[in-house]
Structure 1
């Protein structure tokens, strides 16, 4: 398939979805790699963006994609498209800035830190994970943005903060807790699977869908009746992810047996 056809095929697939803008950026990076036979680096991507990057790489023979977010288990990661003939070992150019404040007088949360960054006009893809600690926040960023934060991030909310360049090795790998759930459901509707995975009722799950809280494969769920299949991933901010591991068949009463994994 010609390059222009590959490009149009991918952009058309994501057109009208939450990932449309990301798809255009990533396809452009892949096209640049194809021409230069070297590598190109994306901004920080959420899991859905990473899925798009994998789709893009799969449509460009001779190009592979690697991911890194600064530490093991990072949710937001940069994608690197690399020509397989390229012999170099390029760097992901990720740094971590440690912001500190007086915890006796102010409680600062993840949302406050992100709000302070966005309030400075920083684009979201310049920032990776934000790891909260005791009166500290470790902010993953690209190298250029890290330098900017050292000079300009002086306040979060009403609190003054001081920033230093930290070492990536100081970030502990993220350990995901996981529990297996075996359930029987009336159908493979997304509200039914979400109810089993998150331990709630179908009506509650439907309300979460109506409130745009639930994602299926990192895309908004438009309809509670949407079907799920093996390998699908449900996610809800603050409540973790649920993976549909196996669909085992039906019981004598006509209910479907499913095996789910919930990551917290």
Structure 2
């Protein structure tokens, strides 16, 4: 095992990213050895951070990301040798599942559940863009025939599935609001309570229920400390970025500036 590989795997050992890191190290080393490129499955933002860290440790390799449209959350990582002169593709397609929105309401969770019930690997699916009567599903291009043939129902609703046009997906426009608050400490439960607008006891309960993530990893303890640049995400409530820690007030509380994405 190379020194670089051992160092990276040791760094992520025992974390939620251990398996992802091992796979991405394999891809980076394959790209380096072949002097060509290797493409990952779709990664969440934490996986993308791991990919960037790995690429930074292989001087002859660069990494790029694409999720099929501007602003995508789940993206594929492409590790490429710096001297490779080709034009690799991210091999991303989009299918559209449509249903009668007059009689049934379906959302992201319903669509994802239907895909998982078909045994589809989550890594082969990118963002799911659901509206009142349809959902666009970003996916590995090789998955399109399988979707067209096998995705017949979402929940109790019958769906019609067709291949759609990536260019028709509008760039993601994120709305956010700035929150200025003072907190007793930089504990994750205090920050979550201030940013999402509920009590610390509620935040602690949500942490126990594994609803809150810090930098896309599960929060294990309500007393875990945060720092500038950290991102909290909560199921059903969106994301919260710690934009600035401004220091102590005269009353000994900590002043923070948070950015909540709606």
Please state which band the TM-score falls in when normalised by the shorter chain: over 0.9
The SS at the match of 1:131 is strand
**Hey, what does 1:128 align to over in structure 2?**
126
Partners of 2:66 and 2:77 within 8 A in 1: yes
Instruction: Point out the more displaced range, 106-115 or 125-134.
Output: 106-115
1:59 aligns with 2:33: no
Partners of 2:244 and 2:257 within 8 A in 1: yes
The SS at the match of 2:2 is helix
Partners of 2:126 and 2:138 within 8 A in 1: yes
Alignment of 1:1-264 (within 5 A): 4-264=2-262
User: Stretches of 4+ moved more than 6 A in 1?
Assistant: none
RMSD value, Cα: 1.3
The SS at the match of 2:39 is strand
- List per-residue Cα deviations over 1:185-209 (Å, max 9, x = no partner): 1111111111111111111111111
- List per-residue Cα deviations over 1:75-130 (Å, max 9, x = no partner): 11111111111122211110000111222333322222111111111100000111
Tell me how many residue pairs correspond in the alignment: 262
Please report how far the alpha carbon of residue 184 of structure 1 lies from its aligned counterpart in structure 2 after TM superposition: 1.1
The normalised TM-score by structure 1 is 0.95
The SS at the match of 2:70 is coil
For 1:199 and 1:115, locate their aligned partners in 2 and report how far apart those are by CA, in whole Å.
29
Please report how far the alpha carbon of residue 10 of structure 1 lies from its aligned counterpart in structure 2 after TM superposition: 1.4
For 1:120 and 1:206, locate their aligned partners in 2 and report how far apart those are by CA, in whole Å.
35
For 2:137 and 2:231, locate their aligned partners in 1 and report how far apart those are by CA, in whole Å.
27
For 1:196 and 1:131, locate their aligned partners in 2 and report how far apart those are by CA, in whole Å.
29
Instruction: Point out the more displaced range, 14-23 or 75-84.
Output: 14-23
For 1:218 and 1:157, locate their aligned partners in 2 and report how far apart those are by CA, in whole Å.
28
Please report how far the alpha carbon of residue 34 of structure 1 lies from its aligned counterpart in structure 2 after TM superposition: 1.0
For 2:256 and 2:97, locate their aligned partners in 1 and report how far apart those are by CA, in whole Å.
44
- List per-residue Cα deviations over 1:5-48 (Å, max 9, x = no partner): 21122112212221111111111100101101111110001111
Please report how far the alpha carbon of residue 176 of structure 1 lies from its aligned counterpart in structure 2 after TM superposition: 0.6
Please report how far the alpha carbon of residue 227 of structure 1 lies from its aligned counterpart in structure 2 after TM superposition: 0.8
For 1:75 and 1:217, locate their aligned partners in 2 and report how far apart those are by CA, in whole Å.
13
The SS at the match of 1:53 is helix
The normalised TM-score by structure 2 is 0.96
